Chains A and B, each alone.
Chain A
Amino acid sequence: MSDRILIVEDEPNIVESLRFILERADYDVHSISDGRAALERLREQPYSVVVLDIMLPGMNGLDVLRAVRQDDKLAHLPVIVLTAKGQAQDRRAAAKVGANSFITKPYSNAEVVKRVGEFAGR
């Protein structure tokens, strides 16, 4: 069975490209655009890796990540932050709330697939 990946991103064109490259790499790709809804989804369904934007409607990505780490069942879920907020303080803020990896936009498709692969245990 393919690893399930959740993309939390509100920009539809980026979702489409990410979905395409990750499906080509044989992942089962799901997406959601709202931070709060993403947290609910993660509590309901199992995922191997989350690709998480920071600037999201509803609840921002860092708050989602903080809530994930405080949830016993999700505390160890691999989360890759993928964001346009690429300054040193953003990187530090993401690390502080428990991001496993940090990729800035614009990104390379190959890099995203590689990082997801690392956390999916491939």
Chain B
Amino acid sequence: MTQKLTGLKIRAYRKERGLTQADLAQRVGISAPYLNLIEGNRRPVGDALLKRICAELDVGIAQLDGGAERRLVQALEELAADPRIGDARGRPANAEELVGRHPDWSDFILRLFRAYEDQRQAVLALADRLNRDPFLGENVHQMLTSAASLSSAAEILAGGNLSEEERRRFDAIVQADGARLSKTARALLGFFDNTEMRIRSATPSEHVDSFILQENNHFPALEALAESFPGSFPHGGFEDAAPLREGFSESGHAVAAPETRRFALMKQTAHRIGREAVAEIVSGHLALPSEESRDLARAALHSYLAGAMLMPYERFLEAAERHRYDINALCRQFGVSYEQAAHRLVTLRRPGAEGVPFAFMRSDVSGHVTKRLPLPGLALPRYTTACPLWVIYGAFQTPEITVRLYGELPSGDQFLFFARAVDKTPPRVGYPRKLLSVMMACPASEAGRVVYGDGLDRGSAVVPIGTVCRLCPREECVYRQEEPLIAGSDISDKRRMATDI
């Protein structure tokens, strides 16, 4: 790339100085056709020759080989690859030439794109606000007004010492504002239901998320199949599962951790024995409208079945309760990885024999969320990073050590969060370390059943957190990265005001 830019720049400087190719070629001791090849990027230019050319053109080497141009080329290439701007077929491929010949115009294009990107972000933010604020703001205001009127009239009625006419008047106010409050609350409920409809997933993997959530992440048919399967697995490795090795290829798994190999083996078995049951669950499910989404759902269910065979429901639930949901203890007992055990805990939703309800979230170090299973009252972000205070990020600071926190959302709901960054580095020399953080969360009211709540004082150690900055009303939060889009109500602020009055 440098060479290409250099040739084009030699040509530009030569012309600027009013020299012909023949003039410059003669001065630096090469033939004109050879200089033509250099300028046309068809021949490289060696260091010694470049120095002579620079001397003749009276420019520094840095001017012919600048880092700024390289960055410009990279930025333009990235821009050209942006699917919002062009498609892959028509993608311009000669950014180097553009930068070499027209650096000013190249810079201009880049600035234009940045301006467009800024405007696009502003439009998105405004659209979001327009979509939500007027209705929400108006209705919340209406609710508070009705509540104020209701409580004031109720206080007057409770105070007594009223004439019959006064009593009738304030009774009527209580009735009217009670009815108005209900009506507004119903309208808001409808709004949120519709909002959920509008933001429902639109891509295959999001369809699978919706499907799993709709089923409460519990599939009784697969649980039954796992339990009926002979030799639900003692752990220890392949030798324990010798009859199942048939048809299993070890390629790709030969150097993986034992629990990963066991899971891979079990998944192949799940494919074989679970095909019909999985097909029946997936077939015709309204949340899975495309073949692609059904393919992904089938893969997820085969993994589910593999997990259920390695960690049979009743035995796993009993062990979880006995170990107070200590995931490391469960890993040891069932010979599975941290993530496999954590994920299995989320599936303990059999009616009448439920475990502690958990949300599950997995992120890589860049904040990319690779798996999410929310809980009622605890939304997990899909497209963006979560609140920086969540332990899912803090866990990267101390890999393989669990970090935990009591957090209170702006809604006032409290959850116990705990997370651990697990090492998924490919077992090959020279590869950078790959960490994935697995976070679980349960309602704080359930924390007594969970070992991760031990020693944390819920009375004093609750940290005010949000879900994502754009939707969090905690204005004073020093961890904030983005301004909030929706004017919400900060519960801690409300509490302060209540004591002021």
Contact = CB atoms under 8 A, between A and B. Distances in A.
Interface of A: 11, 13-14, 16-18, 20-21, 55, 84-89, 91, 103-111
- The dominant DSSP class at the B interface is helix
B45 interface: no
B476 A14 contact: no
Interface string B474-501: 0110000000000101100110010001
15 contacts: A14-B145, A20-B166, A84-B145, A86-B144, A86-B494, A88-B476, A88-B490, A106-B150, A106-B151, A107-B151, A107-B152, A107-B501, A108-B151, A108-B155, A111-B501
Which residue of B140, B144, B150, B152 has the most chain A CB atoms within 10 A of its CB atom?
B152
B264 interface: no
Contacts of B149: 11, 13-14, 17
A99 B475 CA distance: 22
Contacts of A21: 152, 156
Nearest to B162: A20
Given A20-B166, A103-B501, A87 B145 contact: no
Interface stretch (B115-123, B169-177, B230-238, B399-407): B169-177
B190 to A, nearest CB: 21
Interface in B116-169: 140-141, 144-145, 147-153, 155-156, 166, 169
Q: Which 9 A-B pairs have the closest CB atoms?
A: A105-B148, A84-B144, A17-B152, A106-B148, A13-B149, A106-B151, A106-B147, A13-B173, A111-B501
Given A86-B497, A87-B490, A87-B493, A109 B145 contact: no
Contacts, number: 75
Given A14-B145, A17-B149, A84-B145, A104 B173 contact: no
Given A13-B177, A17-B156, A105 B145 contact: yes
Size class of the B contact interface (CB-based, 8 Å): 20 to 34
Contacts of B173: 13, 16-17
B473 interface: yes
Contact of A13 (B153, B473, B489): B153
Contact of B141 (A13, A20, A84, A89): A84
A33 B147 CA distance: 19
A103 B145 CA distance: 13
Contacts of B144: 84, 86, 105-106
A105 B153 contact: no
Which residue of B145, B147, B166, B490 has the most chain A CB atoms within 10 A of its CB atom?
B145
Nearest to B161: A24
Nearest to B493: A88
Contacts of A20: 156, 166, 170
Nearest to B142: A84
Contacts of A104: 494, 497, 501
Which residue of A89, A91, A109 has the most chain B CB atoms within 10 A of its CB atom?
A109
Contact of B489 (A17, A86, A91, A106): A86
Contacts of A55: 141
A103 B498 CA distance: 9
A91 B496 CA distance: 12
A121 to B, nearest CB: 21
Which residue of B166, B473, B501 has the most chain A CB atoms within 10 A of its CB atom?
B501
Which residue of B166, B177, B493 has the most chain A CB atoms within 10 A of its CB atom?
B493
Contacts of A110: 155
